[in-house]
Chains A and B, each alone.
Chain A
Amino acid sequence: MANTMTLISSVTVGSGGASTISFTSIPSTYTDLCLKLSARATGGGDEAAALVIQLNSSNLTSGIHLQDFAGTATSTTGVNIAYAIPQTAVANSFSNMEIYLPNYTSTNTKSLSSDQVQENDSATIVMNLSALYQTSSTAISTITLSPSTSTFVQYSNAYLYGIKNS
């Protein structure tokens, strides 16, 4: 079981916004990676604000998501971490999410799990639990995050942690 957590890098989006956030040259000296994100997008709808995550500049292979839209549970499939970021949400509110990538240097398929909530008013709050994977035999050295068709707003931030099991 991984028992130490070290901050590798972090970023806070500036006043101009950003279409993507990329962590490159990720060291391969850890066992797992953990990404913590607080974000808001400029998109005017859920589709525009769905979070896209790429590993080594490639899309994920598949994913499934359990969601709760203001008390109504749904399930969807897709490679985007759907509806992760508030868009037409309450002013100045940001989403919380954590993405965990175990064994990221393995030559086996890379699996991810993530949980997200939108910090919105009670009428439209969204919770999302996702399981995703990418069929790749290459160690993960780059992670790219973006709202599917909009941009991250100022003060969105991301923290990438490396986790060791020793």
Chain B
Amino acid sequence: MAILNKLLGRNTMTRPTRIEIDCSTGVESIIELTDAEIAQMEVDAAAAATRQAEEAAAAQAAADAKASAQAKLTALGLTAEEISALTK
């Protein structure tokens, strides 16, 4: 069957599914996602990855700026306790 599917170009990968529970009957249905729903998931995933990368870059930039500022304060002669007091 696998060879037949390959020859016919069939996609035998398992499709993502969603679960729907009808509370009036208790019937649980497992429904395969449509092509459009899968495509939307992929778009959303790419956008989320981009947002996460941007947030990580912003957090790193803030940490770098803080370290730089503390180094400059140290160079001016402030003690670690004095720098800590300033940043609280």
Interface residues of B, dominant DSSP: mixed
Question: In the complex, are the beta carbons of A18 and B30 less than 8 A apart?
Answer: yes
**A150-B45 contact given A9-B26, A47-B51, CB 8 Å threshold:** yes
* A26 x B45 contact (CB < 8 A): no
Q: Which of B19, B41, B52 is in CB contact (< 8 Å) with A11?
A: B19
A-B contact list, 12 entries, CB within 8 Å = A10-B21, A11-B19, A16-B14, A16-B30, A17-B17, A21-B18, A22-B18, A24-B20, A45-B48, A45-B52, A149-B45, A149-B47
B: which residues have CB within 8 A of A?
Answer: 14, 16-26, 28, 30, 33, 37, 41, 44-45, 47-49, 51-52, 55
Residue A43 lies at the interface, judged by CB distance under 8 Å to chain B: yes
Specify which chain A residues have a CB less than 8 angstroms from the CB of B47 in the assembled complex.
Answer: 149
User: Once the chains bind, are B23 and A19 in contact (CB under 8 Å)?
Assistant: no
Count A-B contacts at CB 8 Å.
Answer: 73
Contact B23 A13 (CB under 8 A): no
Residues in B with CB closer than 8 Å to A11 are: 19, 21, 28
Bound-state CA distance A19–B17 (Å) is 6
Kindly identify which residue among B22, B33, B45 contacts A24, using a CB–CB cutoff of 8 Å.
B22
A20, B18: Cβ atoms under 8 Å?
yes
In the bound complex, CA of A47 to CA of B14 (Å): 25
Q: How far is the CB of B31 from chain A (nearest CB, A)?
A: 9
